[in-house]
């Protein structure tokens, strides 16, 4: 977002806070930043009335009334004592002031229209002139923990939308409405792809036959792409002794997300939250000559992470995560080539679904929080420099994300935009110089000596659950022929056409197409409507002309129709299926 729009959104967060205090004087303000679509403010309403979604219109009216008096921002640098005096009684602001003081930074108060807030700056110079009041609106109220920590008090987060113009706001709202229609939870129910059960538990999706077929088709496609690059399949158990994760560092760094198991003998195990430590043990089963390097292992399997119940949602955040996981064990001089191989797979896979050009986030460590990571600053610098060089060699549109690294190494995270313009983090390739050190993984080099190796983690879909959620919404449920659970439905116009329709059905089944025969007693018009509602790629209507000419009329969900001979139709559909055409 532009600096100008950032400043507008930040200013509106202050304006919202002023409107809240006017109507709810008992409220305690906390933080109110600008975000990608507007702004929000987290507020503690404990001990009195608080707004719900139905109260947002009144608050919005107050904001539009107040902005007339918001002619200019002024700011003042104050001492910590002065700031604590201004915000006496607000423990949240006091906490922030104490932190700023401890860092030795300047404390500034910004005032506009009689409202003063603790702030670093970044506002409109003249809000009443710079902000179009038709280009913002309050959106919703949600819960949020103070500082994002569930141990802290729950606050009310009021979200607002804000853009430069009313037209941009309206366009965004239209995209949101379209997104609601495409919500993967809605599509999953309509197309009978997956379900959830209270008896099984939240965050544990159950996949129907149709949904399972889609998962397997995606995984089969992924395996064909990987097998061309020399990957081999492996299989590991779903649990492990505590010892494995103590060696890898996960028991210490990842403790809160582990599902732990105690045996009758008192031994401690864990459900695997990731596969990499297990795969190291497959590599380490025997010595490897440099001639055998790289070793490329791939496996699609579930891992389990103990997420907070409030963070679970549809397929995007679950407890059981299916990873199309792969690990490459290679020499240091092979890292670039192996990254290039995976990059090729990523481009092919996501290009198939029309995601187009993707940005790349270089997810690096936070130097201020080294205790969160394995290894030394020197090792991290080596790995991060390598990733930067790889991104540049691909002429990638990349940006750096400090603090986004995995605990064992930096990542290349691919960012894809869906058909609604929303950006999602999808595939990831991670360079790990730390687990090989912890597990003492080596190969025997040309001189007959042990040589420390590198490890590359790569997941193209990442989480199949999350990827399918993104894909369902990207496609709006309109699956390409090769991925659709039902590829074609044959619809006889009347009883007299059923025998020929059955013949067509058998021909399509014989070549492996997923065809259905609609033998219901419904009218032809209703049968066609149902096929379109189910977003089937194709349907075939059989009437007098088709029976007489031994032909079929193939119609697509897009409304295109073509007449084809019976002996051609199967190969025609197979050709479309094999090209992965959208």
Stretch 19-29: mean pLDDT: 93
Structure confidence at residue 191 (pLDDT): 94
pLDDT per residue as tens digits for the range 492-506: 998 899 999 999 999
Confidence at residue 390, expressed as pLDDT on a 0 to 100 scale: 97
Q: Which of 60, 323, 425, 430 is catalytic?
A: 323
Q: What CATH number does domain 187-236+273-475 carry, 3.30.930.10, 3.40.50.300, 3.40.190.10, 3.60.10.10?
A: 3.30.930.10
The 10s digit of each residue's pLDDT in 386-433 is: 999 999 999 999 999 999 999 999 999 999 999 988 899 999 999 999
Ranges of each domain in the chain:
3-169, 187-236+273-475, 481-578
**Chain-wide mean pLDDT for the chain?**
93
- pLDDT at position 49 is 75
> Which position has the higher pLDDT, 9 or 255?
9
Residue 47 has pLDDT above 80, yes or no: no
Contacts of 20 (CB under 8 A, 6+ apart): 27, 29, 41, 43, 51, 59, 158
pLDDT class of 289 with cuts at 50, 70, 90:
very high
Are 400 and 362 spatial neighbours (Cβ–Cβ below 8 Å)?
Answer: yes
- 327 catalytic? Reply is yes
The answer to whether the beta carbons of residues 350 and 426 sit under 8 Å apart is: yes
pLDDT of residue 69: 93
Instruction: Report the pLDDT averaged over residues 510-526.
Output: 90
Mean pLDDT of the region 540-552:
91
- For the cut 90, the answer to whether the pLDDT of residue 48 exceeds it is no
Is residue 253 scored above 90 in pLDDT? Answer: no
Active site residue 278: no
**C-alpha to C-alpha distance for 117 and 41, rounded to whole angstroms:** 12
245 contact partners, CB below 8 Å, separation of at least 6: 251, 254, 258, 270, 277
User: The dihedral of CA 543, 547, 548, 550: what is its sign?
Assistant: positive
Nearest alpha-carbon partner for 401 in 367, 360, 358, 363: 363
Tell me what pLDDT residue 119 has.
Answer: 93
As a whole number of angstroms, the longest Cα–Cα distance in the chain is 94
The mean pLDDT of 453-477, rounded to a whole number, is 96
Q: What is the pLDDT of residue 350?
A: 96
- Catalytic residue, from 44, 139, 324, 325: name it: 325
pLDDT tier for residue 360 given thresholds of 50, 70 and 90: very high
Instruction: Confirm whether 457 is a catalytic residue.
Output: yes
Catalytic site residue from 288, 305, 361, 424: 305
Give the active site residue among 8, 250, 457, 551.
457
Residue 582 pLDDT > 80, yes or no? no
Which pLDDT belongs to residue 239? 95
323 catalytic, yes or no?
yes
Most confident of 340-354, 356-370, 510-524: 340-354
Q: What is the pLDDT of residues 296-346, one digit of tens each?
A: 999 999 999 998 777 788 999 999 999 999 999 999 999 999 999 999 999
- Residue written as token pair 């295109």: 560
> Choosing from 278, 411, 489, 505, which is the catalytic residue?
411
**Model confidence band, residue 286 (pLDDT cutoffs 50, 70, 90):** very high
Burial tier of 122 (Cβ tally within 10 Å: 0-12, 13-18, 19+)? middle
For residue 282, the model assigns a pLDDT of: 98
> Of these residues, 9, 327, 341, 527, which one is catalytic?
327
Alpha-carbon span 437 to 205, nearest angstrom: 37
Alpha helices in 140-236 (DSSP H): 166-181, 184-190, 209-227
Comparing 115-129, 305-319, 367-381, 479-493, which segment has the lowest mean pLDDT? 305-319
Query: What is the average pLDDT across 125-152?
Result: 91
CA angle centred on 127, ends 123 and 133, rounded to 5° = 120
Please compute the mean of the pLDDT values over residues 215-240 and round it to a whole number. Answer: 96
Tokens of 421: 């313009």
Residue environment code for 39-60, b if the CB has 16+ CB neighbours within 10 A, otherwise e? bbbbbbeeeeebbeeebbeebb
Catalytic residue among 112, 119, 124, 276: 276
> Does residue 117 carry a catalytic annotation?
no
Q: Report whether pLDDT(1) > 80.
A: no
d(CA 97, CA 89): 13
- For residue 30, the model assigns a pLDDT of 96
Per CATH, which fold does 3-169 belong to? 3.30.980
What pTM did the predictor assign? 0.84
Q: Which CATH class is domain 481-578?
A: alpha beta
276 is catalytic: yes
Q: Note if 182 is an active site residue.
A: no
pLDDT 10s digits, 70-108? 999 999 999 999 999 999 999 999 999 999 999 999 999
């Amino acid at each position: 977002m532009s600096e100008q729009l950032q400043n507008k959104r930040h200013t509106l967060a202050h304006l919202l806070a002023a409107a809240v205090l006017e109507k709810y004087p008992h409220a305690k303000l906390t933080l109110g930043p600008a975000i990608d679509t507007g702004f929000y403010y987290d507020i503690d309403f404990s001990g009195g009335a608080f707004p719900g979604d139905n109260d947002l219109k009144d608050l919005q009216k107050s904001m539009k009334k107040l902005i007339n008096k918001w002619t200019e921002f002024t700011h003042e640098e104050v001492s910590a004592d002065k700031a604590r005096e201004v915000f006496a009684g607000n423990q949240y602001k006091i906490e922030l002031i104490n932190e700023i003081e401890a860092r030795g930074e300047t404390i500034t108060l910004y005032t506009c229209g009689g409202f003063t807030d603790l702030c670093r700056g970044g506002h409109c110079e003249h809000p009443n002139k710079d902000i179009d009041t038709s280009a913002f609106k309050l959106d919703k109220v949600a819960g949020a923990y103070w500082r994002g920590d569930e141990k802290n008090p729950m606050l009310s987060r009021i979200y607002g939308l804000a853009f430069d113009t009313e037209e941009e706001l309206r366009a965004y709202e239209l995209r949101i409405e379209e997104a609601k229609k495409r919500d993967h939870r809605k599509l999953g129910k309509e197309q009978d792809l997956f379900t959830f059960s209270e008896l099984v538990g939240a965050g544990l999706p159950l996949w129907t036959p149709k949904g399972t077929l889609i998962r397997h088709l995606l995984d089969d496609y992924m395996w064909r792409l990987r097998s061309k690059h020399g990957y081999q399949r492996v299989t590991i158990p779903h649990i492990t002794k505590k010892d494995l994760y103590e060696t890898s560092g996960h028991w210490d760094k990842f403790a809160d997300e582990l599902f732990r198991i105690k045996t009758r003998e008192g031994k401690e195990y864990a459900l695997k939250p990731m596969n990499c430590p297990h795969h190291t043990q497959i590599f380490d089963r025997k010595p490897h000559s440099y001639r055998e390097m790289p070793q490329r292992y791939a496996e699609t399997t579930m891992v389990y992470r103990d997420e907070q119940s409030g963070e679970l949602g549809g397929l995007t955040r679950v407890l059981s995560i299916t990873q199309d996981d792969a690990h490459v064990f290679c020499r240091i001089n092979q890292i670039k080539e192996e990254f290039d191989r995976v990059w090729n797979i990523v481009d092919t896979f996501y290009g198939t679904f029309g995601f187009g050009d993707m940005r790349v986030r270089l997810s690096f460590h936070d130097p201020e929080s080294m205790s969160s990571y394995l290894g030394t600053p020197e090792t991290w610098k080596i790995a991060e420099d390598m990733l930067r060089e790889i991104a540049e060699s691909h002429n990638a549109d990349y940006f750096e994300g400090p603090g986004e690294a995995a605990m064992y190494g930096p990542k290349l995270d691919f960012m894809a935009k869906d058909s609604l313009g929303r950006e999602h983090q999808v595939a990831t390739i991670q360079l790990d110089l730390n687990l090989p050190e912890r597990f003492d993984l080596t190969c025997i080099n040309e001189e007959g000596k042990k040589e420390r190796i590198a490890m590359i983690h790569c997941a193209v879909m990442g989480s199949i659950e999350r990827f399918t959620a993104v894909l369902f919404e990207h496609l709006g449920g309109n699956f390409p022929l090769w991925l659709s659970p039902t590829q074609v439905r044959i619809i006889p116009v009347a009883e007299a056409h059923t025998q020929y329709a059955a013949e067509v059905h058998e021909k399509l089944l014989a070549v492996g197409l997923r065809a259905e025969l609609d033998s219901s007693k419904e009218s032809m018009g209703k049968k066609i409507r149902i096929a379109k509602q189910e977003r089937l790629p194709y349907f075939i209507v059989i009437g007098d002309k088709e029976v007489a000419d031994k032909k079929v009329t193939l119609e697509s969900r897009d409304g295109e129709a073509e007449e084809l001979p019976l002996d051609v139709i199967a190969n025609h559909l197979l050709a479309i299926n094999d090209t992965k055409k959208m």
